[in-house]
Amino acid sequence: MKARTRYAPSPTGPQHIGGLRTALYSWLLARQTGGQFLLRLEDTDRERYDAESERSIKNSLRWLGLDWDEGPEVGGPHAPYTQSERLPIYQEAAERLIAQGNAYRCYCTKQRLDEMRAAQQAAKLPTGYDRKCRNLTAEERAANEAAGLPSVVRFAMPADGSVTFTDAIRGDITFENGLLDDFVILKSDGYPTYQLAAPLDDVLMEITHIIRGEEWISSATKNILLTRALGHEPPIYAHLPLILGPDKKKLSKRNGDAAVKDYQDAGYLPEVLLNFIALLGWSEGTDQELYTREELISKFSLENVTNHPAVFDVVKLDWMNGLAIRAMSLSELAKRCVPYLQAAGLIPDPVPAEMLAYIESVIALEQERLHKLADAPEMTAFFFKHDLEWDDKALKKVQADGAKEILSAAADALEATADWSFESVESAVRGLIETRGVKPGEVIHPVRAAVTGRTVGPGLFETIHVLGKAETIRRLRNAS
């Protein structure tokens, strides 16, 4: 069966990890079955709407390669895909539901609803709309309309019975209709609520699978009743488990959840984040943890999504990112580091062609230690800066007794090398250690401090070799 799935975010804030997982699973199912993946913007809550959020959602999906077949910007047979541009469709459906007897206009004022609620609370009764307007006579309704009273449209809940549906992840779920309110489907300003717009669009856009977070389970009954009132059978629902932080509390800003953009800025590779997010709740039941995009497409299944919470483990994400960085070809890795080096002001934009080989040899020295691309500038800055900044420990090394003299001797020895091969560099420094009869550290430590400004880093000979003769000598003389 070709799945038509949708990611239907409300653009009210930056794209976070949880939503991205919903989008990913929906995308995987569509790609696996040769169906379509839709992006639909549920922007009918105009008070909470945020244009920046819309950009963040689209950018995050694009960054991860989750392309949508229908939706904003790409169009499609059911355009528009932005709900605020579809108001007449919802209004017409609301009218139809009223005409069928599945919905009714409610003229109750906010004041009346507040008083009703307060009275219910005082009497320790469940709160909810008392259905006053459901029972208005035709005359009363006509009088309210003639008086121009503002109204909302409410769904007329069946008084009894229940709704059972088979969730693709959780199995059968039943809700008693009697527990539900006559929920509002159209607001007085003519905007639909989520409870009308989403199920109606799911019908119109021929969605076959609704994949979303478990916080939406309680909406499923309303969605299903509304879908049936519209004359359709509901699609398949799959409610994804919660994502918890390492502290086993719901993932939130406080325990590590961040906007997808933050992961991008930190230098996680999109293919790694995709792999990592896929595993937040889904597993084939094997030990495999590293998946390519193609493997995920072929192996993903809703049946293998668990119904217990997934734990977001950033240590694992770092580990996966480091593995991917080490497995990458050097030229690819250097290319990916370039924007980070540019953002840190270490290299020009665009990169001069003759600089590329140098960048590659610098990155080659750090490939083993790099976990996130955004660490590259910090780790490699000394290769690019003309004016070196020495950290405190390095400063101590170059100011130690006898250091200046050693640095000057090292500069002489390196200056005398016939060529600047790695071997020549190594033998020049080792020669110096030998002729002076000192421990290697007595030369290596001050030299490292002088040319890199720090006391830790990649191998000294490799570093000097990459840095080049002129720059190495300049730095040694500078410090001596």
C-alpha to C-alpha distance for 327 and 85, rounded to whole angstroms: 46
Shortest CB 90 distance to ligand GLU, Å? 14
Shortest CB 105 distance to ligand GLU, Å? 25
Shortest CB 137 distance to ligand GLU, Å? 36
C-alpha to C-alpha distance for 85 and 187, rounded to whole angstroms: 16
Q: What is the DSSP string of 374-387?
A: GGHHHHHHHHH-SS
C-alpha to C-alpha distance for 178 and 400, rounded to whole angstroms: 83
Nearer to ligand GLU, 234 or 453 (CB): 234
C-alpha to C-alpha distance for 374 and 286, rounded to whole angstroms: 32
Nearer to ligand GLU, 49 or 420 (CB): 49
Name the segment binding ligand GLU (CB under 6 A); options: 5-13, 175-183, 288-296, 345-353.
5-13
C-alpha to C-alpha distance for 401 and 215, rounded to whole angstroms: 67
Give the count of beta carbons closer than 10 Å to the beta carbon of residue 387: 6
Nearer to ligand GLU, 21 or 475 (CB): 21
**Nearest residue to 32 (alpha-carbon basis) of 270, 232, 185, 209:** 209
Nearer to ligand GLU, 37 or 107 (CB): 37
- Please give the single-letter amino acid code of residue 423: E
C-alpha to C-alpha distance for 417 and 415, rounded to whole angstroms: 6
- Is 357 in a helix, a strand, or coil? helix
C-alpha to C-alpha distance for 223 and 209, rounded to whole angstroms: 13
Shortest CB 212 distance to ligand GLU, Å? 4
Nearer to ligand GLU, 8 or 381 (CB): 8
User: How many residues line the site for ligand GLU (CB under 6 A)?
Assistant: 8
Choice from 198, 347, 379, 407 touching ligand GLU (CB under 6 A): 198
**253 in catalytic set:** yes
Nearer to ligand GLU, 9 or 453 (CB): 9
Instruction: Copy the structure tokens of residue 64.
Output: 């991860």
Give the count of beta carbons closer than 10 Å to the beta carbon of residue 96: 14
212 binds ligand GLU, rule: CB under 6 A? yes
Choice from 42, 54, 182, 366 touching ligand GLU (CB under 6 A): 42
CA angle 173, 174, 175 (to 5 degrees): 130
Shortest CB 315 distance to ligand GLU, Å? 29
Q: Which of 253, 385, 393, 439 is catalytic?
A: 253
Q: What is the DSSP string of 27-61?
A: HHHHHHHT-EEEE-B----TTT--HHHHHHHHHHH
Instruction: Copy the structure tokens of residue 93.
Output: 């459906």
Shortest CB 234 distance to ligand GLU, Å? 12
Interface of this chain with ligand GLU, residues 338 to 367, rule: CB under 6 A: none
Instruction: Copy the structure tokens of residue 208.
Output: 């076959």
C-alpha to C-alpha distance for 410 and 10, rounded to whole angstroms: 64
C-alpha to C-alpha distance for 458 and 365, rounded to whole angstroms: 6
Nearer to ligand GLU, 16 or 454 (CB): 16
Shortest CB 364 distance to ligand GLU, Å? 44
Interface of this chain with ligand GLU, residues 6 to 35, rule: CB under 6 A: 8-10
What residues are annotated to the active site? 253
Q: Which residues bind ligand GLU (CB under 6 A)?
A: 8-10, 42, 194, 198, 212, 216
